[in-house]
Homo-oligomer: A and B are copies of this chain.
Amino acid sequence: MAEVRNKQVLFKDYISGFPKESDMYISTDKTICLKVPEGSNKVLVKNLYLSCDPYMRLLMQKIEGPSVFTSFTPGSVIIGYGVAKVLDSGHPNFKKGDLVWGTTGWEEYSLITAPDFLFKIEHTDVPLSYYTGILGMPGMTAYVGFYEICNPKKGEYVFVSAASGAVGQLVGQFAKLMGCYVVGSAGSKEKVDLLKNKFGFDEAFNYKEEHDLDAALKRYCPEGIDIYFENVGGKMLDAVLLNMRNLGRIAVCGQVSQYNLVEPEGVKNLMCLIHKRVRMEGLRVFDYFPQYSKFLDIVLPSIREGKITYVEDIAEGLESGPAALIGLFSGRNVGKQLVVVARE
């Protein structure tokens, strides 16, 4: 059986603190057989687009005790979400030529051993890369976090942190479609401009230029905040708590400002939960994957009709993967960060 070279991005070893490009390395040592083993239900794919997501930082440290996450294995390939093309399949739901998205490896070809977690891509009139973002895990995250956790109502005040990111840009647009007043924070002037001019946020600010986040929120959200879509944690969460309105809701989606700290910052203003009767609720998107087709039915028409737009930051080539992933934590990316391994 013909074997081909399989270029890979491998994980070096567990880290603490900020990740570096050198925590990963490129290897061309391995070859792979482009057929699934006889009699197995595995799926062999060619990877096209790989998704860079903040949660991946959490897998770069040794996770103690039971967790929803499994750490990367030192010396093994980085695992993440991606879009791929089926080259061979032992699974009845997939056949050669199918396009899929789901969990795959950071390598040219992957043998998927748990294909039940792959989604078949049925709609290809939109960019295929969207299945790493707006039509993939981040899109579902924005959708269920905003609609299912936050229970939004027309006219409410919504604040989104990391608002130009893969999830945030969608939350803001969903909120505008719902008739909410929407404010976002991001880490550069370019991103703030995007929020206001491309995604239609009512207001936006660069958190790096605000010494006093509480004062900034009082300036940009003078009526307070009914809904906070939490992507960053730490000082921003503490400032938001001071500005929540009665019966406010906080969808806790991520806390990217905390992932590189050895010990998380303490959040001091939780008494605001009592004074304002605020509900704060954590979100794990994979619990909602069974609702994926319902999500597509709602989001695809909005994309086709131009009611929702999506900005991607596309890195070319598997070799650019480590820098692209690391860039998430300095905010280098503008919009959804992904890596093209191959376009077809």
Contact = CB atoms under 8 A, between A and B. Distances in A.
Contacts of A67: 275
A274 B4 CA distance: 40
A215 interface: no
Contacts of A284: 274-275, 277
A271 interface: yes
Interface residues of A, number: 33
Contacts of A264: 268-271
A266 interface: yes
A254 interface: yes
Nearest to A69: B275
Interface-central residue, A252, A255, A270, A275, by most chain B CB under 10 Å: A270
Interface string A255-271: 10010000111111111
A30 to B, nearest CB: 33
A279 interface: yes
Contacts of A32: none
A283 B272 CA distance: 10
B287 A282 contact: no
A95 interface: no
A269 B270 CA distance: 12
Contacts of A266: 265-268
Contact of A282 (B68, B252, B255, B275): B275
Given A255-B270, A266-B266, A269-B264, A280 B277 contact: no
Interface in A35-56: none
Nearest to A149: B279
Contacts of A263: 268
Taken together, the copies of this chain in the complex come to 2
A116 to B, nearest CB: 21
B281 A273 contact: yes
A253 interface: yes
A269 B267 CA distance: 9
A278 interface: yes
Given A280-B279, A282-B277, A237 B268 contact: no
Interface in A267-317: 267-284, 287
Given A268-B266, A269-B264, A270-B255, A283 B279 contact: no
A265 B265 contact: no
A136 interface: no
A251 to B, nearest CB: 10
A284 B279 CA distance: 12
A102 interface: no
A274 B287 contact: no
Given A264-B269, A266-B267, A268-B265, A255 B279 contact: no
Contact of A255 (B237, B271, B277): B271
B278 A281 contact: yes
A150 to B, nearest CB: 12
B273 A252 contact: yes
